């Protein structure tokens, strides 16, 4: 196990230019991130190409054993990784935040290592026998975001490595240290050159997307960037898994108990201080219980402490960067100017250090208000009143994104009927955003395509081959 200082120095002592990473809670320096170039990327790809065949030759058993050891390595350095993650990303140590994220990295890696994927017999009628197998793709490029930098990196690299591929990772420019540290720990148990991090700018990401040696891109981030990757990857016909922007709707049916669901509603919306692609971002509540839901949710939200992530008492932190703070501030301001009713928050202290936006609930807001129609990606939730179920479903389906959604009711049959009418990759019932490493996850419409997690996630990182005869 490394100390925090040892871990940090191991990833910031590289020769060449660096960039200072600041703590979004305090503005103080966290460390110096290397600024890699396209030349560094080319070297990483050459090394990955040289290492990948031997890794593929290990077979599923050998690769799984190595990945299980890598999960153990994450757990040995869990507290040091969580401390760095909290400083760089801003999320608190406690709650469903930094320590939770690091622990989930080990869990997801273990599941990727141990999920069974057997050849599938598709026809065996005595005359014809056909089997479906999955072979390694070769080299995979993994481009990650700043909101869950460690965990989403593992979502990408775990199945890619398990299926026999080499991986080149390009982290967000906002959170490179977290990913560099995580990969450094994982690489204690992997062959040199198999898994590499290139901490560079947009030109590195663009080159990774078009590089002829890369056969698959895994990307989590904005829809706009996803579209750019689609275009740049087209020349080499790369396989893509894209988890893009969302604006998830939740529909509360009139028979729900506002007090009983308030805590789960809160975390569905405000996990990671709202900086989650599949967080609850629009809440539709029936007239009959609208006021009660507003009251109960406000009581829960008001009791959740926000502040520096290193304070063990906090469960909400700052927005990771000033650009995101400005987006949330603009959208809440537009809601206030429209006459919507602010139940809580909406009054940031612009003079305090850090990118803190207060937990904000906005009621009596029109469905076409920018706070509803645009993805806020922060701690502000609009609560929209509805009278008929058809109206709620129409509004929930009214945007061009469809990552997740949720339905809230004690009547599971009724909730499932409503869920089936919603255009989203995942619809949760009486929860929101609870992902599971064995349950496939992916979006619809402009929230992307391709599935992650479980058997389907492994298949997405392999080349299907039919052996017929």
Mark whether 120 is an active-site residue.
Answer: no
Name the one residue in this structure whose structure tokens are 């990913």.
179
Angle at 98 between CA 94 and CA 104, to 5 degrees: 110
Residues linked to residue 99 through DSSP beta bridges, in sequence order: none
Distance of CA 288 to the CA centre of its chain: 35
What is the rounded distance in angstroms from the CA atom of residue 201 to the CA atom of residue 210? 15
**Which three-class secondary structure state does DSSP give residue 389?**
helix
Among the listed residues 438, 430, 400, the one whose alpha carbon sits nearest the alpha carbon of residue 223: 400
What is the DSSP secondary structure assignment for residue 221, as one 8-state letter?
S
Write the DSSP string, 418-462: HHTTS-SSEEEESSSS---TTS-B--EETTEE--BSHHHHHHTTE
Instruction: From 185, 101, 93, select the one nearest 144 (Cα to Cα).
Output: 101
Backbone angles phi, psi at 316, to 5 degrees: -125, 145
What is the Cα–Cα distance from 270 to 379, expressed in whole angstroms? 6
What is the Cα 150 distance to its own chain's centre?
Answer: 9
DSSP at 316: B
Catalytic residue among 243, 296, 375, 452: 243
**Cβ contacts of residue 263 below 8 Å, gap of 6+?**
300
Dihedral angle of Cα 232, 180, 29, 267, to the nearest 10 degrees? 80
Residue 171 CB partners (closer than 8 Å, separation 6+): 144, 149, 153, 178, 179, 180, 197, 199
Q: How far is it, in rounded angstroms, from Cα 197 to Cα 203?
A: 15
Could you tell me which residues come within 8 angstroms of residue 311 by beta carbon, excluding any fewer than 6 positions away?
Answer: 92
The token pair that represents 1 in the structure block:
């196990």
CA angle 150, 350, 262 (to 5 degrees): 60
Q: Which of 80, 101, 105, 277 is catalytic?
A: 277
> Distance from CA of residue 1 to its chain's centroid?
27
Q: How far apart are CA 366 and CA 343, in angstroms?
A: 15
Give the pair of three-digit tokens for residue 257.
């108990």
| Strand partners for 363 | 341, 383
Active-site annotation holds for 131 = no
Strands 239-243 and 448-449: antiparallel
Provide φ and ψ at 168, rounded to 5°. Answer: -115, 125
Q: What is the dihedral of CA 106, 111, 112, 114, to 10 degrees?
A: 120
Query: What is the set of active-site residues?
Result: 243, 277
């Amino acid at each position: 196990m490394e100390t925090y200082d040892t871990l940090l120095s191991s990833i910031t002592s590289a020769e060449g230019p660096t960039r200072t990473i600041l703590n979004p809670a305090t503005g103080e320096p966290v460390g110096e991130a290397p600024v890699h170039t396209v030349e560094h990327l080319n070297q990483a790809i050459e090394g990955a190409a040289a290492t990948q065949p031997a890794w593929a030759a290990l077979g599923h058993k050998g690769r799984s054993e190595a990945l299980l050891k890598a999960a153990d390595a994450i757990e040995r350095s869990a507290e040091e990784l969580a401390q760095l993650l909290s400083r760089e990303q801003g999320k608190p140590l406690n709650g469903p935040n930094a320590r939770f994220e690091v622990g989930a990295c080990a869990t997801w890696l273990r599941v990727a290592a141990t999920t069974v994927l057997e050849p599938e017999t598709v026809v065996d009628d005595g005359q014809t026998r056909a089997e479906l197998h999955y072979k390694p793709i070769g080299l995979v490029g993994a481009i990650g975001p700043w909101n869950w930098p460690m965990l989403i990196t593992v979502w990408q690299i775990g199945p890619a490595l398990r299926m026999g591929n080499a991986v080149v990772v390009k982290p967000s420019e906002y959170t490179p240290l977290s990913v560099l540290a995580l990969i450094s720990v994982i690489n204690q148990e992997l062959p040199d050159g198999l898994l590499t991090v290139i901490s560079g700018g947009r030109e590195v990401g663009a080159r990774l997307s078009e590089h002829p040696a890369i056969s698959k891109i895994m990307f989590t981030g904005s829809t706009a960037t996803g579209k750019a990757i689609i275009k740049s990857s087209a020349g080499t016909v790369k396989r893509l898994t894209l988890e893009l922007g969302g604006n998830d709707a939740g529909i509360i049916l009139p028979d729900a108990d506002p007090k009983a669901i308030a805590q789960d509603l809160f975390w569905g919306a405000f996990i990671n201080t709202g900086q989650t692609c599949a967080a609850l971002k629009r809440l539709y509540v029936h007239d009959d219980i609208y006021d009660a839901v507003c009251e109960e949710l406000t009581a829960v939200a008001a009791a959740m402490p926000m502040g520096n992530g290193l304070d063990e008492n906090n469960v909400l932190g700052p927005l990771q960067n000033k650009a995101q703070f400005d987006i949330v501030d603009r959208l809440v301001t537009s809601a206030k100017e429209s006459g919507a009713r602010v139940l809580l928050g909406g009054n940031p202290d612009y003079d305090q250090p850090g990118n803190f936006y207060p937990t904000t609930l906005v009621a009596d807001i029109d469905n076409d208000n920018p706070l509803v129609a645009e993805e806020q990606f922060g701690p502000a939730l609009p609560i929209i009143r509805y009278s008929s179920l058809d109206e709620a479903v129409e509004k929930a389906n009214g945007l061009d994104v469809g990552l997740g959604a949720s339905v809230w009711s004690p009547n599971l049959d009724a909730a499932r009927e409503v869920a089936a009418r919603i255009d989203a990759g995942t619809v949760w019932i009486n929860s929101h955003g609870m992902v599971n490493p064995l349950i496939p996850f992916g979006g619809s419409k402009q929230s992307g395509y391709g599935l992650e997690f479980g058997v389907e996630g492994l298949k997405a990182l392999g080349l299907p081959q039919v052996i017929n005869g």
